[in-house]
Amino acid sequence: MLYLKKIIVIACSTGGPKALQEIIPFLDERINCPVIIVQHMTAGFTKTLAGRLNLISKIPVTESTDCELLENNHIYIAHAGKHLNIDKAGVNHRIEHSDEGLRLGVKPCANFTFESLAECDFDEIICVVLTGMGSDGAEGIIHLKKYKQIKVLIQDEESAVVYGMPGSILKAGIDCKVVKLCDMGKEIVALTEG
């Protein structure tokens, strides 16, 4: 059976930490891939968020470190105050932090992360856009879709604190599946197994 290299990238902002607490407990060894979370936060707070999520997670959750190699069944929280890109490193992939200015008023910006995946060797990419103000994620997913096979999940409006980010995916006409927050963790696992 052909082994497909997969990755999950989750983008969120306002209301994101609470939403992540409902999703993370569902992610376990069945996903068999790395998970990147780009949560808009002030510098200094993503390490605390990673620690809190790690307490309720079945797989490790850590704040991203520059040049670290991605491992399956590991969740990486983008380091606040830096943009997170994924780069090829031989047969592996690694995190590369960059220090460009704010994009869409945020840093980290999920658009950078999604766009960087266009140059990577992942066969399947699951893009998840949760609650948040603004439109971060839409531009990056549009770019990525030109180069890679992707699946896009967005949080439903009823369960989102702010529907800006998920709503921008719909407004952009991106093919996606709208999922209730209470079902999002199970849906992510089902996609990785499928």
Question: What is the tens place of the pLDDT at every residue in 146-181?
Answer: 999 999 999 999 999 999 999 999 999 999 999 999
Is a pLDDT exceeding 80 seen at residue 117? yes
- Reduce the DSSP state of residue 131 to 3 states and report it: coil
pLDDT score of 193:
83
Beta bridge partners of residue 108, listed in sequence order? none
Amino acid at 120: C
Task: Give the pLDDT score at 99.
Answer: 93
Phi/psi at 115 (5° precision): -65, -40
Assigned token pair, 26: 């569902």
pLDDT one-digit tens code per residue, 37-63: 999 998 889 999 999 999 999 999 999
User: Band of the pLDDT at 194, cuts 50, 70, 90?
Assistant: low
Structure confidence at residue 91 as a pLDDT band (50, 70, 90): confident
Residue boundaries of the structural domains of the chain: 6-193
**What share of the chain in percent tops pLDDT 70?**
97
Catalytic residues: 13, 40, 136
The H-or-E segment that residue 168 falls in is: helix 164-171
The partner residues of 75 in beta bridges, in order of sequence, read: 35, 61
Per CATH, which fold does 6-193 belong to? Rossmann fold (3.40.50)
CA 11 – CA 86 distance, rounded (Å)? 15
Q: Which residues of 102-125 are buried (b: 16+ CB within 10 A; e: fewer)?
A: ebbebbbbbbbbbbbbbebebebb
